[in-house]
Amino acid sequence: MIRLRRPRQSTVRRVLAAALVLVAGCLAVRPSAPDASVPVLVAARALAPGVALTPGDVKVMRAPPDLRPAAALSDPAEAVARVPAGAIGEGEPITRVRLVGADNLAATAGPDGAAVPVRLPDDGVADLLYPGVRVDVIARERVVLARDAAVLTVRPSDAGVLVLLALPRAEAAEVAAAALREPVAVTLR
C-alpha cells in the first residue's frame, strides 16, 4: 500500500503568503480611480445677509459627491448678483435655499408662500430685523394683518429700509394692499 504524504502546513502558508504578495502587487500597480469629486460653489469669505454677491465673494471647490449639499450651486454665474438670505461663513457651500428667491421662499413660507416688500416708518425698528426673525405685521388701530411672517432680507434704500417678508399667499396680498394705503409696523416674536 502506498502512502500519500500530506503537504506540510508551512508549505501551505508559503503558497498563501506568495499569493497575497502577488495580489498586493497587482493592487499597487493598478491605475487609481478617476477623480470622483464634483464642483461646489463656496463662500470665498464671510458673507453678510442682504448684500448682492460679486464674483470675488464666491469660488469653486471640488468635493466628494456624497458631501455636496442638495441644491448646491456649482457655477459662480448662478450666484453673482443674488442676495444671501442669511450670513454665510467662509468656505460654506452656497445653495439655492441660502439665497433670496423661490427656493428660499418655499423653505421659509411653504409651497404657497409669497414675498412681500414692506417699508417700515421707523428705521430703528428695521435695525432690529435680520433674515430668519419672525414678526407680526400690524396696521393702524392695532389690526393684525399677518402673524409669524419670516424676514427674508432687510435692504436699505434711498426711500427708507425695505423689509422682505415671507407669508402665505392670502396674507401676503392683504399685507401688500395695506402697505400701499398706510404705514405698517412689525412686532418681533
CATH number at residue 58: 3.90.1210.10
Model pLDDT for residues 114-137, shown as the tens digit of each residue: 999 999 888 889 889 988 899 999
Q: Do 166 and 125 share a structural domain?
A: yes
- Within a domain: residue 8? no
Domain count within the chain: 2
Model pLDDT for residues 56-103, shown as the tens digit of each residue: 999 999 999 999 998 999 999 999 999 888 889 999 999 999 998 888
- Within a domain: residue 130? yes
The whole-number pLDDT of residue 104 equals 84
Domain around 133: 110-188
Better-predicted residue by pLDDT, 4 or 113: 113
- Within a domain: residue 30? no
Spell out the long-range contacts of 156-161 with Cβ–Cβ below 8 A and sequence spacing 24 or more.
Answer: 159/119, 160/119, 160/120, 160/121, 160/123, 160/126, 161/119, 161/120, 161/123, 161/126, 161/127
Which three cell numbers mark 26?
497587482
- Within a domain: residue 22? no
Task: Say if residue 112's pLDDT is above 70.
Answer: yes
Task: Say if residue 32's pLDDT is above 60.
Answer: no
Confidence of residue 6 (pLDDT cuts 50, 70, 90): low
The whole-number pLDDT of residue 86 equals 84
Main-chain phi, psi angles of 147, to 5 degrees: -115, 145
